[in-house]
Amino acid sequence: MVKFCLQCKNAFWGGQYCPKCPGEIELLDAALPENKKYLPELNIDVRPKYYARSSMLLSCFGFIMALPLGAFLFLRGMSSSGNVALWASVGIGTIVIVSWGCWYLAHRLFDKQMEDVEVDDKEPQLD
């Protein structure tokens, strides 16, 4: 849940009070309808956080699923024939192609989503 501080104009992932401002400045929830009126005056843009998270999930899915898929192809091929070199190269090739493919798609997805973010007047919060 994204919350923001009206005093320092920063956004944070959760919490009740702003960790940067002195005192106990309450953070406002960005998803509540009554707080939507404050969003245009903030000097940050939280969309890159959401876009990075969706790209990260896609690349993580690819890296996690590549190894079992490659191992499955290797073991399945080894059970039908005894050609170790062929099925090892097919398994390793599958791991590399699926991992790289998901990373490439995540990178393209992030770049495509970031085209709509105008960074002229707002500072994208990438932390």
Per-residue model confidence as pLDDT tens digits over 11-55: 777 788 888 888 888 888 877 888 777 776 665 666 777 788 889
Could you give the angle at the alpha carbon of 50 between the alpha carbons of 45 and 52, nearest 5°?
105
59 and 120 fall within a common domain = yes
Euclidean distance between CA atoms 29 and 16, whole angstroms: 9
Q: What is the pLDDT of residues 46-89, one digit of tens each?
A: 677 778 888 999 999 999 999 999 999 999 999 988 899 999 99
State whether 36 and 82 are in the same domain. no
Report how many domains make up the chain: 2
Long-range contacts of 6-9 (CB under 8 A, 24+ apart): 6/38, 9/41, 9/42, 9/43, 9/44
Predicted confidence band at 90 (pLDDT cuts at 50, 70, 90)?
very high
On whether both 67 and 111 belong to a single domain, the answer is yes
Q: Which domain holds residue 103?
A: 47-124
Structure tokens at 63: 């890296």
Higher-confidence residue of 92 and 7: namely: 92
Question: In terms of domains, do 56 and 26 share one?
Answer: no
Indicate if 26 and 55 belong to the same structural domain: no
Distance separating alpha carbons of residues 30 and 5, to the nearest angstrom: 10
Same domain, 58 and 79: yes
Same domain? 91 vs 61: yes
